[in-house]
Amino acid sequence: MVPLYMAFLIGGLLCLLGQLIMDLTKASITPGHILVGYISGGALLSGLGLYEPLVKIGGAGATIPLSGFGHLLTQGSLKAVEQKGLLGAFSGGVEAAAAGITAAVIFGYLAAVLFNPKG
Amino acid sequence: MNTPDPRRWKKIEVEEYENLVQQVKPKPPLFKHCVWAFIVGGLICLLAQLIMNYLLNQGIDKVAASSYTAVIMIFLGAFLTGIGIYDELGKRAGAGSIVPITGFANAIVASAMEFKREGYIFGVGARIFTVAGPTLLFGFVVAVLIGLIKVFFSS
Amino acid sequence: MPAKKKRGAQTLVFDQPPVLTSWASIAGPKEGQGPWGQEFDWSMEDYLFGEESWEKAENKMLRETVKKALNKRNFDEADAEILMAGDLLNQLVSSNYAARELGIPFLGLYGACSTMAESLLLAAILVDGEYFERVIAAACSHHYTAERQFRFPIEQGIQKTPSSQWTATAAGAVLLEPVGTGPRITAVSIGKVIDMDQKDVSDMGSAMAPAAAHTIKTHFSDLNRPSDYYDLIVTGDLGKVGMAITQELFIKDGLQPEPNYSDCGVLLYDDFQEVYAGGSGCGCSACFLCGPLLKKMAAGEINKLLFVATGALMSPITSFQGESIPAIAHAVAIEN
């Protein structure tokens, strides 16, 4: 198991990177761009084999930032390709992330039913 | 006699104006933002690691524990958004609250809640993916591409 | 035949300056807690104003403000001849639905945050031209309806930049008549759309300042007036950043002596209210004019006011397409 301080450190650094991007680049970088950048970046690094080492030392510090979600998608895709070939390239990513995506959508719906935006 | 090209003249004015704006415009407090982002992001990941460690200790296998942890963090992000706390956190923590998966949940839930007044189909239903949509789309695109590359090189 | 009332390039002077005989303003919770909170006719307790949605609340705000302005002169809706109003929402729904309830012949206007000056100057033209005798000019905005349309869902954790502004929840309405007691509109300058290639949608001030400076400069040169003619020049919602830039532009344009200048967006809130660069929205300038400013004019504390509301004329779609932010500013000279 990864020591807690490493999770804190790696997670903190990944967020710090995001903050630097947001504050130091031109105004047009929105949170949406950050989310897309991180998930794609994580997926890409994962494909190059560079993200797994980060997970090994950072644990949740690497899997919880959205780049970790991208890593999950790519690994899912690669494993499914080993098992199913071409079909796996399409099904693998979604399958691996299914629990997370569904949870987000269902909780979103529930929150909309139960809560109102403050104001 | 050459009359000055009005477009070039305007370009100079525009550049001068941009210089003036950059002089006057306040810059974001970078150090404060970075400290907050690092600490809040780190704490969220720390919390997730605690949950993960607990689940692993219960004998749950690594992949399942990872999934459960993600779902729990998503639930937390959704809940804090629902009760109206996550935006307060986001104001101060910036990337510290956007980058972790809780931020992804926040974007989805905030959109869903916001458009409730337009009904569940065209309000909540249509808008729930407004911010999350591009995120998932590009995640899928890269993952599928990498999978296809592997297929290509395996055959 | 040259137009008789036109001066210079963009300015009109009125032979029979229309009188602002009555006005009313409403402020939202945040605005009511600001430094001028007591100067508005009402302050809302919450953002829903007893309605089911923010859009319905904004519609009610405009409606009630117009009614109040009329009631102060012992008129009701049937006495008003024309309503000119606008807001920030798509298809001007707040104004349209308010006009539906009010039943006054209606002209909807879109000038983004410059709408109050736009409706005021058009109303003045209708009255001076002896077309109508009781014209209402109004504008409104609501923080949450604007955020939904232009920016992000309320509960999303966004970090704002120091140059961003807070769309005011406020409305203002004023009644113009050809004769009566009250300050008068003596001249108006219609602005051009000015675009200095600013693309940062979280910094409206920088985008709008050139338009404000251009209209003000043109106003003075068209009328051949000295730049310290007015007791106060006030812009609608340039905010701290836009105001500072405008002051630099005054110097660059050679506006000497320097006019006494301030901005409604900066004045409307206290620093601790977390509004970053200040207020924005049609309601910001509308409520400030139809509250604190006109009150001071009635009391004789200000006798010559130049009210310059500024608007940023982009939409989310043009911003996504990479377009810059064009802006416009209209000036209305109000004198006792």
Complex ipTM, two decimals?
A: 0.91
Q: What is the largest CA-CA distance in chain B?
A: 87
Question: How many angstroms separate the CA atoms of C321 and C84, rounded?
Answer: 32
Report the alpha-carbon distance of residue C332 to residue C185 in Å, rounded.
Answer: 7
Alpha-carbon distance B146 to C64, whole Å? 60
Q: Which residues of C touch B128 (CB under 8 A)?
A: none
pLDDT less than 70: residues of chain B = 1-9
Q: Name the residue with higher pLDDT: A25 or C121.
A: C121
- Does residue B30 sit at the A interface (CB-CB below 8 Å)? yes
C161 touches chain B (CB under 8 A): yes
Fold match flag (C11-177 vs C187-335): yes
The pLDDT tens digits of the residues spanning C111-165 come to 999 999 999 999 999 999 999 999 999 999 999 999 988 888 888 888 888 899 9
pLDDT of residue A69: 93
Which residue, among C185, C166, C138, C305, has the nearest Cα to C235 in the 3D structure?
C305
Sign of CA dihedral B85, B87, B90, B91: negative
Does the beta-carbon distance from A118 to C159 stay under 8 Å?
no
- Chain C residue numbers touching B131 (CB-CB < 8 A): 152, 156
Q: Which tokens go with C193?
A: 């759309």
Question: Rounded to the nearest 5°, which phi and psi values hold at A65?
Answer: -60, 155
Q: Which two tokens stand for residue C214?
A: 């251009």
Residue-wise pLDDT tens digits, A66-110: 999 999 999 999 999 999 989 999 999 999 989 889 998 999 889
pLDDT score recorded for residue C42 = 92
Average of pLDDT values for A32-44? 93
d(CA C135, CA C175): 6
Quick one: which of A54, A101, A64 has its CA closest to B69?
A: A64
Contacts of C98 (CB under 8 A, 6+ apart): C59, C60, C62, C63, C66, C85
Rounded to two decimals, the pTM is 0.91
Task: Give every residue of chain C whose pLDDT is below 50, as ranges.
Answer: none
Instruction: Give B-chain residues touching A109 at CB under 8 angstroms.
Output: 112, 124, 128
Q: What are the φ and ψ backbone dihedral angles of B138, each rounded to 5 degrees?
A: -75, -30
A18 and B98: CB-CB below 8 Å? Answer: yes
Angle at C61 between CA C112 and CA C93, to 5 degrees: 50
At B34 the pLDDT is 94
Q: Is C15 on the interface with B (CB under 8 A)?
A: no
Closest Cα to residue C140, out of C101, C98, C202, C81?
Answer: C98
For CA atoms C94, C96, C102, C105, the dihedral sign is positive
- List CB contacts (< 8 A) between B13 and chain C: 196
Instruction: Look up residue C243 and give its two tokens.
Output: 């105001």
CATH superfamily of C11-177: Stage V sporulation protein AD (3.40.47.40)
CATH number listed for the domain at residues C187-335: 3.40.47.40
- Give the tokens for residue A76: 């899912």
> Rounded to whole angstroms, how far apart are CA atoms C331 and C187?
8
Domain ranges of chain C: 11-177, 187-335
Provide DSSP, C211-266: HHHHHHHHHHHHHT--TT-SSEEEESS-HHHHHHHHHHHHHHTT--SPP-EEEHHH
Structural element, H or E, at residue C105: none
User: What is the pLDDT of chain A when averaged over all its residues?
Assistant: 90
Tokens of C178: 């050809």
Are C42 and C63 within 8 A, CB to CB? Answer: no
Joined tokens for residue B26: 């306040």
Distance from CA of B43 to the nearest CA of C (A): 17
A85–B contact, CB cutoff 8 A: yes
Distance from CA of B87 to the nearest CA of C (A): 4
Taking residue C31's Cβ as centre, other Cβ atoms within 10 Å add up to 30
Q: Are C184 and C174 in contact (CB under 8 A)?
A: no
**Which residues from C are below 8 Å from A when comparing CB atoms?**
46-48, 54, 143-144, 152-159, 161, 199-203
Instruction: Check A60 against B96: CB less than 8 A apart.
Output: no
